[in-house]
Structure 1
Amino acid sequence: MYPGMQDTIVAVSTPAGRSFHAIIRISGPEAIPCVRSIFIPATNIEWKDIPSYSSLKGFICSSKEQVSIPVFLYLMKKPFSYTKEDVVEIHTTGSPPLLEILLDTLLSEKIQAHRSIRLSQPGEFTKRAFLHGRIDLAQAEATMRIIRAQTDLELAAAVEQLTGNVSRQIRQIQDKIVSLLAQIEAAIDFSDQDIELIPATEIIRQLAELKIAISRLFHQPETGKVSTEGIGAVFYGKPNVGKSSLINALLGKRRSIVSDVPGTTRDIVADTVEIGGICFKLTDTAGVEVIKEAGIAGLTEKVQSVLKRAQVVLLVFDGSLSLAEQFLELKVDDLAAITIVIVNKSDLTSLRQSLPPELEKYPVVYTSAQTGEGLEELKYLLIDTVLGGRIETIPCLMNIRQKDALQRSLHSVQCAVESAQRDESHEFIALDVRAAADAMGEVLGSVTTEDILTKIFSEFCIGK
């Protein structure tokens, strides 16, 4: 039994701040008695006869503050709740002072004297759902991915994992590993009776099938480069070419400081924007001449590091000045990212210069941050880098912890194959097969430690 599992926990489960609606969630053996002692229903009710999934209208009275707060209660009795415990949700107006009064009332000395109730730790509701078997560990991590999703694609991938489709595939593979292990260990038990329960060729065949199945799971289509922060798009060019103005225009708000004075941006500024359902992280860099100033320590290294990590580099030029001269100041020979050329300030000149030969291989767009000219075309080019297949967009269904466990399972299966091919004893083969099963179990949480659980659930919000 994990410490504190018998406690009743409470927390605000909606985001902080003012809102039209807010929810306080309570879970544990004392959830219903705790609320019953301070709730005044709008109509007469018999608590013992209330079925699960019932809603009750009424008031919660705070003797300390001398107020009655209108609320709706939603009751979910065990085991038909998220945590498989008795759960009560208090729905009321999203006023922070009001929520503080409700929490204070629930945790008051009068309640505490009779009930074991405390504030929830981060992720404790989901942790209880996992420990009580409502969800497995992969689904618990998917819950966090849903909370943190910034685009429809990321949300769809997280929902896919939460539905249990990935878990079912993993569980099927784990069952096959365990079945093979049982056959090998049975063969070990009967080895002194000259009975060959499973020949080496059959072991190798089953291990080969397992290896293929794990490899397919491990190498599912994924971006590998697309993080939850968005696709990295870096604006790079000389000072005062309009990088900051372009970013502000794409964001639809003022994020970067804009000025006619060259070199206003003297550090790296980043923000995210969703374009066509795809999340982009737009990064504004200091102009090339500013980078060269010796007085700004470490700026050159920071900008070069950002450029190396970028997935899309947007080279920005001032269309009213010589493109060739500006290009000489830029170092674009070693750009590994997808590159788009932006000729900005097209409203200042009607002439369109020829691009330097080195830039002709890149798509070019003529823009004006002041008039909005070319912004839609720029958005199209950004989306096309993704939808055109140059950057994949299917978010990875596995996180680092899960992929590490799968990799270890795959390695153990390979070791078992090599042992079987060398005709080693069943005992050595069984060791690797068991290691493979344990590693698969780590993904679902059937084999885990308290340290791993603490790390995973500590990253959740309180109230989730």
Structure 2
Amino acid sequence: MCPEIQDTIVAVSTPSGRSLHAIIKISGQEAIHCIKDFFVSASHLDLETAPSYSSVQGHLYIPEEYINIPVVLYIMKKPYSYTKEDVVEIHTIGSPPLLDMLLNAFLSKGIQTKRGIRLSQPGEFTKRAFLHGRIDLAQAEATMRIIRAQTDLELKAAIAHLTGDVSQEIRRIQDDSISLCSHIEASIDFSDQDIDLISATEIMKRLEAIKTTISHFLNQPETSRVPPEGIDTVLYGKPNVGKSSLINALLGKRRAIVSEIPGTTRDVVTDILEIDGIRFKLTDTAGADDTKGAVISRAMEKTQSMLTRAQVLLLVFDGSANLGEQFLEINLDDLTNNVIVIMNKCDLLQEIPHYELPEKLKEYPIILTSTLTGVGLERLREMLAETVLEGRINTSIAPPLLNMRQREALQRSLQSIQQAIESARNNESYEFIALDLHTAIDTLGEIMGKVTTEDILDHIFSEFCIGK
């Protein structure tokens, strides 16, 4: 581990320039001691005994300048912070001279008291998160992609990286390779006893499967307009409008819980619907609800996360109920362009009440459905397919799933797998196959940072701005 990891680091983590609000972040073993030298709490709370995730209001007194600066401190104690170190965030006024004054005060006091406090290097907060195991290297790079994202597509791709989608896929490939390698090495160990733990045919079959998975992962952005996991399609609306019944009817099976009790769905429910060879990843979310409660709040957080990533949004209303009340919980400004408005329970409805619809919703296609009679379900399937076939979902210009470093490592691992296949095809010794597999496994480890060098880390994190 780098020697400088023992230092306490400080930096302004918000963009430069004047603003109403700015954040100074301090991370390291001296973080709390550093701030105690200047902070006067309005509630007289002791920062060292304060629980993690505490927010404390007060002011910072700078004796050299004879001024009090109003601040709110957010205390995050190890190992529950982003860096897994003690972290203090100082939220204050976004005045550049004021922020410089605070930084100078912290650094000067650190020198006077012989504490290891210094300005952070570019990307050092995220680098520490990686070195301490909070995130892997692919997720660290995703943080940079989020910072630099300029379009919704770029942001969604970066979020997928940050939530571990890429890491999980690489880990699955690596686990398959490790499992195969362990069987091969066990066969080597017992070769003098004529015990065949795995046949050459089975080795070839599993190597080909790993090769196919890696090749598909490498070629996915170039060879497929529609992602293999399906188009993200989210059903959203107030509780008890029939979302669960609708998803069950579309799938032709009982996938989501159906109940007359409002708000039965408290978690996301996902399944695949295939229409004309196009896969849609249907997600039945917790209904829009202003009811309080910890479980409900967590469910709604998941729902909001799914809405931001949705490629198609099925906005479901109970057509037999008062529509005005249902609109209150829907933020129409946040809707994706690919919206289908569904008036469900149309068997209880005489005619569609267009006059009750907000102008915003009249811009989207509207369909009447009934899960009881089946009315409108086939037309809904057609409309879903049309969103893709008519080019309304733009997946062809989606940002690449892998960055250059990750792609190069994956290509090298593919070459090693191919060499192992050639060795198996030529009936060479199992030792040669295992050696190539080890090389492939180590190369896959480079993507997540399990196998890396200081030069690689320095290059990656030097591209970050200071304070991230």
TM-score, shorter chain, exceeding 0.5 = yes
1:7 aligns with 7
1:169 aligns with 169
Measure the CA separation in 1 of the matches of 2:109 and 2:46: 26
1:415 aligns with 419
Measure the CA separation in 2 of the matches of 1:195 and 1:391: 51
Work out whether residues 139 and 161 of structure 1, in 8 Å CA contact, stay in contact via their aligned partners in 2: yes
Tell me how far 1:406 sits from its aligned partner: 0.6
2:53 aligns with 53
Task: State how 1:260-271 maps to structure 2 within 5 Å.
Answer: none
- 1:399 and 2:398 matched: no
Measure the CA separation in 2 of the matches of 1:41 and 1:389: 52
- Provide closer, same or farther for how the CA distance between residues 13 and 426 of structure 1 changes in structure 2, counting only shifts above 3 A: same
Q: What amino acid does structure 1 have at the position aligned with 2:46? A: E
1:96 aligns with 96
1:75 aligns with 75
Work out whether residues 222 and 397 of structure 1, in 8 Å CA contact, stay in contact via their aligned partners in 2: no
- 1:424 and 2:428 matched: yes
Measure the CA separation in 2 of the matches of 1:42 and 1:82: 26
Tell me how far 1:450 sits from its aligned partner: 0.6
Work out whether residues 34 and 110 of structure 2, in 8 Å CA contact, stay in contact via their aligned partners in 1: no
Measure the CA separation in 2 of the matches of 1:112 and 1:429: 60
Q: Secondary structure at the match of 1:172?
A: helix
Q: What amino acid does structure 2 have at the position aligned with 1:169? A: E
1:184 aligns with 184
Q: Which runs of 5+ in 2 are unaligned?
A: 225-389
- Provide closer, same or farther for how the CA distance between residues 391 and 187 of structure 1 changes in structure 2, counting only shifts above 3 A: closer
- Provide closer, same or farther for how the CA distance between residues 391 and 140 of structure 1 changes in structure 2, counting only shifts above 3 A: closer
Q: Secondary structure at the match of 1:220?
A: helix
1:143 aligns with 143
Tell me how far 1:47 sits from its aligned partner: 2.9
Measure the CA separation in 2 of the matches of 1:425 and 1:48: 61
Work out whether residues 110 and 116 of structure 2, in 8 Å CA contact, stay in contact via their aligned partners in 1: no
Tell me how far 1:392 sits from its aligned partner: 2.2
Work out whether residues 8 and 31 of structure 1, in 8 Å CA contact, stay in contact via their aligned partners in 2: yes
Q: Secondary structure at the match of 2:15?
A: coil
Measure the CA separation in 1 of the matches of 2:395 and 2:401: 17
The two structures have a TM-score, normalised by structure 1, of 0.63
Tell me how far 1:147 sits from its aligned partner: 0.5
Q: Secondary structure at the match of 2:21?
A: strand
Measure the CA separation in 2 of the matches of 1:222 and 1:418: 27
Q: What amino acid does structure 1 have at the position aligned with 2:181? A: L
Q: Which runs of 5+ in 1 are unaligned?
A: 225-385
2:311 aligns with none
Q: Secondary structure at the match of 2:147?
A: helix
- 1:159 and 2:133 matched: no
Q: 2:457 aligns with which of 432, 442, 453?
A: 453
Q: Secondary structure at the match of 1:45?
A: coil
Higher Cα radius of gyration: 1
Tell me how far 1:389 sits from its aligned partner: 9.0
Q: What amino acid does structure 2 have at the position aligned with 1:456? A: I
Q: What amino acid does structure 2 have at the position aligned with 1:405? A: A
Measure the CA separation in 2 of the matches of 1:194 and 1:101: 76
Work out whether residues 223 and 395 of structure 1, in 8 Å CA contact, stay in contact via their aligned partners in 2: no
Tell me how far 1:114 sits from its aligned partner: 3.8
Q: Secondary structure at the match of 2:3?
A: coil
1:128-168 deviations in Å (ceiling 9; x for gaps): 00011111100000000000011111101100111101111
1:337 aligns with none
Q: Secondary structure at the match of 1:64?
A: coil
Work out whether residues 222 and 395 of structure 1, in 8 Å CA contact, stay in contact via their aligned partners in 2: no
Measure the CA separation in 1 of the matches of 2:3 and 2:462: 15
- Provide closer, same or farther for how the CA distance between residues 112 and 27 of structure 1 changes in structure 2, counting only shifts above 3 A: farther
The two structures have a TM-score, normalised by structure 2, of 0.63
Q: What amino acid does structure 2 have at the position aligned with 1:411? A: Q
Work out whether residues 27 and 86 of structure 1, in 8 Å CA contact, stay in contact via their aligned partners in 2: yes
Task: State how 1:83-122 maps to structure 2 within 5 Å.
Answer: 83-109=83-109, 112-122=112-122
2:37 aligns with 37
Aligned residue-pair number? 303
- Provide closer, same or farther for how the CA distance between residues 134 and 421 of structure 1 changes in structure 2, counting only shifts above 3 A: same
Tell me how far 1:221 sits from its aligned partner: 2.1
Tell me how far 1:195 sits from its aligned partner: 1.6
Tell me how far 1:113 sits from its aligned partner: 2.0
Measure the CA separation in 2 of the matches of 1:222 and 1:136: 26
Q: What amino acid does structure 2 have at the position aligned with 1:453? A: L
Tell me how far 1:46 sits from its aligned partner: 2.8
Q: 1:438 aligns with which of 438, 442, 453?
A: 442
Q: What amino acid does structure 2 have at the position aligned with 1:155? A: L
1:62 aligns with 62
Q: What amino acid does structure 1 have at the position aligned with 2:68? A: S
Measure the CA separation in 1 of the matches of 2:441 and 2:61: 54
- Provide closer, same or farther for how the CA distance between residues 426 and 105 of structure 1 changes in structure 2, counting only shifts above 3 A: same
Work out whether residues 55 and 72 of structure 1, in 8 Å CA contact, stay in contact via their aligned partners in 2: yes
RMSD: 1.9
Work out whether residues 71 and 91 of structure 1, in 8 Å CA contact, stay in contact via their aligned partners in 2: yes
1:327 aligns with none
Work out whether residues 187 and 197 of structure 1, in 8 Å CA contact, stay in contact via their aligned partners in 2: yes
1:261-304 deviations in Å (ceiling 9; x for gaps): xxxxxxxxxxxxxxxxxxxxxxxxxxxxxxxxxxxxxxxxxxxx
Measure the CA separation in 2 of the matches of 1:141 and 1:208: 30
1:225-245 deviations in Å (ceiling 9; x for gaps): xxxxxxxxxxxxxxxxxxxxx
Measure the CA separation in 2 of the matches of 1:51 and 1:433: 47
Q: Secondary structure at the match of 2:431?
A: helix
Work out whether residues 53 and 75 of structure 1, in 8 Å CA contact, stay in contact via their aligned partners in 2: yes
1:211-230 deviations in Å (ceiling 9; x for gaps): 11111211222599xxxxxx
1:414-444 deviations in Å (ceiling 9; x for gaps): 1101100110001111111111101110111
- Provide closer, same or farther for how the CA distance between residues 390 and 146 of structure 1 changes in structure 2, counting only shifts above 3 A: closer
Measure the CA separation in 2 of the matches of 1:222 and 1:89: 42
Task: State how 1:241-252 maps to structure 2 within 5 Å.
Answer: none
